[in-house]
Structure 1
Amino acid sequence: MYKQGDAEPILQLSGVHTHIGEYHILQGVDLVVPRGGLSVLLGRNGAGKTTTLRTIMGMWHASAGRIQFDGRDITAAATPDIAQASIAYVPESMAVFSALTVRENLYLAARNGPLDTQRLEWIFGFFPALRKFWNYPAGLLSGGQKQMVAIARAIVEPRKLLLVDEPTKGLAPAIINNLIDAFRELKETETTILLVEQNFNFVKKLGDTVSVMDDGRVVHAGPMSDLVEDRELQQRLLGLSLDSHQ
């Protein structure tokens, strides 16, 4: 298993199994997320990527194995406690409170009181549509606009770890470019990012490390640059070249 340097990783999964009903989804996941930067989780559909994120967040509990975050065992922790430990999660489903305005969605995500005006302006710089629709009910927004709200909610306050599932889904190319800029700036802060994504050109530009899942296990881990440069490895692990996806 690849580890970046000798520093303690911010997140480590060791032999994690997750059952959902009668289905055995994660079958011994070993995953190391180095502290700082952006780690990518790749794999074919059904490999277990989303289940891994949901298990980290305690939305589904591991049936075996151990999850450590920032030196603490969170394997059996409840989701609210995990969120309070400074982990934010952006699900693929673009979960927003549809009946609430964009402003109210962000205010609810601010755990430490009123929104920080300076940070809010920073978010508007990446997602200017949020300013335009500030007082609109989130349920009336397009899919891409809801995705902006979901991401903004996750970063409205500093977090130690940001888990993001398919953030570019439904976004126009111009907004994806803004998202790249946002993640690049987040990488310069104390926020570590674990990203599940199918837009390979997107992750090539951002990823520092990568883990590839197949059939509920991590089958490869290493620097993103190694995977990008090795077409044979891409074909073997993913069944395609990264260049074949735009």
Structure 2
Amino acid sequence: MSDNLLTLEGVHTHIGAYHILHGVDLQVPRGQLTMLLGRNGAGKTTTLRTIMGLWQASQGRVTFNGADITKKHTPQIAQLNIAYVPENMGIFADLTVKENMLLAARQARTAAQIDTQRLAWIFKLFPAVEKFWNYPAGKLSGGQKQMLAVSRAIVEPRELLIVDEPSKGLAPAIINNMIDAFQQLKASGVTILLVEQNINFAKRLGDHVAVMDDGRVVHAGSMQALAEDAALQQRLLGLSL
């Protein structure tokens, strides 16, 4: 079995008349947390949406667990035990927290049928989800909505978790809570791919890193090596960790 759970080879994506991805090569090692970094407009979100089939690759190949998923539709990809948390979180504002969770729990028809042990684990990771269980999701704060979005993605066991900017707009205390949650998820064996702009978040969590620029991956390696190389950081990201 390959050490990489997810692989992109020469992936191009067009959106209308715009050519966004220009041959993305990306490896997501099994059981590790991979950070996808890059300046705004580098193509990070488009890469995630292409993996999930929300936008179709016009060239190249996406492979998950050794199977070609390039032409699969989003529901088929989700059924492969891949969960995706978009940047806008995708919360159903008019539904309660419980109802949002139930929609994601495909094996349950009522909240009582959701795996109680897993739910208890999620409540321990994100106490706000339990506290506001019967509360309209649209009334939650930004940080609470992000916690709900991640909780919904992991309400059933997933092999791959893909999250777009989980720390965006969050207070430092909530970011620390989110870091702890992802560390526990990784320890449980989940493979994680994160897009991040918060470099401290990336440095504390990442095992592997890929840096994008102008629709391509321009650097890949260990997160620790990038964190310790100020000159490389400056060249790739225009900043120092």
* TM-score normalised according to structure 2 size: 0.96
The Cα offsets for residues 159-200 of structure 1, whole Å up to 9 and x where unpaired, read as 010000000112222221111111111111221000001111
- AA aligned to 1:74 is I
The residue number in structure 1 matching 2:132 is 133
Q: Distance in 2 between matches of 1:140 and 1:188?
A: 32
- AA aligned to 2:76 is D
**Structure 1 residues 188-203: aligned runs within 5 Å:** 188-203=187-202
**Structure 1 residues 1-246: aligned runs within 5 Å:** 7-113=2-108, 114-242=113-241
Q: Distance in 1 between matches of 2:125 and 2:169?
A: 16
Compute the displacement of 1:137 (Å): 1.0
230-239 or 109-118, which moves further after superposition? 109-118
Q: Distance in 1 between matches of 2:221 and 2:132?
A: 41
* TM-score normalised according to structure 1 size: 0.94
Q: Distance in 1 between matches of 2:107 and 2:29?
A: 27
Contact 1:127 1:175 in 2 (8 A): no
Q: How many residues align?
A: 237
Contact 1:90 1:151 in 2 (8 A): yes
The 4+ residue runs of structure 1 with deviation greater than 6 A are none
Identity, % of aligned positions: 71
RMSD of aligned C-alpha atoms? 1.1
Compute the displacement of 1:230 (Å): 0.2
Contact 1:11 1:70 in 2 (8 A): yes
Q: Which runs of 5+ in 2 are unaligned?
A: none
Task: Find the residue that maps to 2:54 and give its secondary structure.
Answer: coil
